[in-house]
Amino acid sequence: MKKHFIKVVLSSAVVMASFSSCKNSSSSSKNVSRATGWKINAKEGGFQYNSDFKEQETPPGTVFVEGGTFTKGKVQDDIMHDWNNTPTQQHVQSFYMDETEVTNVMYLEYLDYLKAVYPPDNPNYANIYKGALPDTLVWRNRLGFNETMTNNYLRHPAYAEYPVVGVNWVQASQYAEWRTDRVNEVMLEREGYLAEDAKYKVLNGDIGGTFSTEAYLNNPESVYGGEIDSLQGKQKRDSINAFAKRSSGVIMPEYRLPTETEWEYAAQALVGTREYNNYRGRKKYPWEGDYTRNGQRVGRGDQLANFKQGKGDYGGIAGWSDDGADITAQVKSYKPNDFGLYDMAGNVSEWVADVYRPIVDDEISDFNYYRGNVFMKKAIGEDGKVEILEDQIVYDTLPNGKIVAVNLPGEIKEVPVGEEETYLRTNFDHSDNRGYRDGDPGSSRFFQRFSDESDNRKMYDSPKHKVERDSTGNLIRQYDTSNYRTSLINDEVRVYKGGSWRDRAFWLDPAQRRYLPQYMATDDIGFRCAMSRVGSKSKSKNKSVRHKKAK
């Protein structure tokens, strides 16, 4: 009886030991599923996933900005009485931001690419290159001689590392889209999904198509004009991993314009200080202190940014210049802030993604606040696949008559979301949310009075200029001659932040905000790109330190 009992116990122990061993093996191996016990990334097939992914790497040209909480808006005296930056407590997720403004040479690379891939002498492509060109006439002044900048600022090598200007908000957004595709081409080439010379074959005209990130992810056979088979790298030998997917961890998120909240948070750079007043929004500039001059021993008295000193004073006395510049300055001419970002005050103001409204409603969202969402979805054809605009180009004529390409050949057609996506949802109920709770008739307590028939009584009653083409292709510009317009604000005006070389020190405060129609450009507004961080809030080395301390 005892022997039998011992055998049972031993048998149970063996079973338990085997089960424990199997359990430990399954949970400890990164290539064995903790859900099913199946192999991951098996040669035989099955679930394929990048189990070696560590964290998102820093994209080219950017620095890491760890997210956190801060006071958005201005808590100091509002001497302009704009009341458009009421302080609100906000939290921002981690992201990446260009360390400098986009420079002339960076933008020229974009222009040269468009010119090579979509030759402007081809009537079908003529408006692609032309629509991306900066407006160099922004330098002209009726009572000033600035023709040197008009003719030289964009292309002369002396200004190569100066911030690009004359770029409107629409053009800046399209540059960010183009940059996304070019960076992802490099990533796919590095990981062996594309041949090294693939991108240059497009430039040289050896193939008739180009690369689109979203088209590659949704229908990889469609990119490069359907010739991707001849342009694949070493991964082609592995039929399972012939194309990268979102789950491969190789494709980077999109470059884009930063939101106003991100830009202001990055400019304040509270990471370098823990003073209570700064945390509550009292930090006046991207640097420490209440003055624009350097108070340190080295460089004492030097200006910390490029801005207008006073009437008729853009740079100081010759031989002892206050800021070393009269118009814009070469990027990195001044010290970066505590995030490593240059010129977050002065030099040029910068476009951000947001649609402008005179006040920020702190009850809408205190997490990644942003106004400007227009939710879109990929168009699906009758065959159940995404629609690729193979030989089509979608153009848009801006109110000033400038024609820009909205979609280029090879990109995915997008349409507004409909009832399929919005039915019984609580977080959004239609595609265009730019006027949500502000600017649409429902925003007002007396919204019944705002009828469509009385176009002169809407909340944001901005001028409505029209540009049309006649049968011969000539532009017909119709100016709004109404005497009853009460505002310049509508859903096409965008926020720009930071002071410029034309502005006094008052505008260097990161909380200051102004607006301009998204189709207009000036000689003192530039831009920089941002990219969202996926995964952990902070770098993994910081995460491991916290983990060790917790133990």
State whether residue 430 is helix, strand or coil: coil
pLDDT at 457: 46
- C-alpha 86/C-alpha 72 separation (Å) is 8
C-beta separation of 498 from 510 below 8 A: yes
> Which amino acid belongs to residue 258?
P
Quickly count helices (H) and strands (E) in the chain. 11, 19
Cβ-based neighbour number of residue 177 at 10 Å: 17
C-beta separation of 526 from 167 below 8 A: yes
**pLDDT at 130 > cutoff 50:** yes
pLDDT at 541: 54
Spatial CA neighbour of 211 closest among 187, 191, 235: 187
Residues of 68-101 as b/e, b for ≥16 C-beta within 10 angstroms?
Answer: bebbbbbeeeeeeeeebbbbbebbbebbbbbbbb
Lowest mean pLDDT across 99-108, 198-207, 229-238, 438-447: 438-447
> Treating both helix axes as pointing N-terminal to C-terminal, what angle do 104-117 and 169-190 enclose, rounded to 10 degrees?
80
C-beta separation of 29 from 54 below 8 A: no
Residue 410 token pair: 């090879």
Spatial CA neighbour of 129 closest among 110, 104, 152, 101: 110
Using CA of residue 414, residue 418, residue 424, residue 426, what is the dihedral sign?
positive
pLDDT tens across 476-535, in order? Answer: 888 888 888 888 888 999 999 999 999 988 899 898 999 999 999 999 999 999 999 999
The domain limits of the chain are 67-448+459-530
Residue 304 token pair: 């910390």
> Which amino acid belongs to residue 150?
T
Q: Which helix (H) or strand (E) holds 132?
A: helix 126-132
pLDDT tens across 214-269, in order? Answer: 999 999 988 998 888 888 888 776 666 789 999 899 999 999 999 999 999 999 98
pTM of the model: 0.88
C-beta separation of 331 from 325 below 8 A: no
Cβ-based neighbour number of residue 231 at 10 Å: 23
Lowest mean pLDDT across 114-123, 136-145, 240-249: 240-249
Mean pLDDT (the chain) is: 84
Average pLDDT over residues 382-404: 83
C-beta separation of 90 from 534 below 8 A: no
Task: Give the alpha-carbon dihedral of 447, 449, 455, 457, to 10 degrees.
Answer: -90
- C-alpha 216/C-alpha 367 separation (Å) is 31
- C-alpha 515/C-alpha 459 separation (Å) is 17
3-state SS record for 280-349:
HHHCCCCCCCCCCECCCCCCCCCECCCCCCECCECCEECCEECCCCCCCCCCCCCCCCCCCCCCCCCCCE
pLDDT tens across 85-103, in order? Answer: 888 889 999 999 999 999 9
Residue 55 token pair: 């964290």
- C-alpha 535/C-alpha 551 separation (Å) is 23
What CATH superfamily is the domain 67-448+459-530?
A: paralog of FGE (formylglycine-generating enzyme) (3.90.1580.10)
Q: Tokens 């992201």: give the residue.
A: 95
The residue with greater pLDDT, 5 or 341, is: 341
Distance of CA 437 to the CA centre of its chain: 24
Cβ-based neighbour number of residue 350 at 10 Å: 25
Spatial CA neighbour of 215 closest among 239, 171, 181: 181
C-beta separation of 417 from 469 below 8 A: no
Spatial CA neighbour of 347 closest among 404, 273, 267: 267
Query: Residue 456 — pLDDT band, cuts 50, 70, 90?
Result: very low
C-beta separation of 173 from 206 below 8 A: no
What single DSSP character describes residue 145?
Answer: -
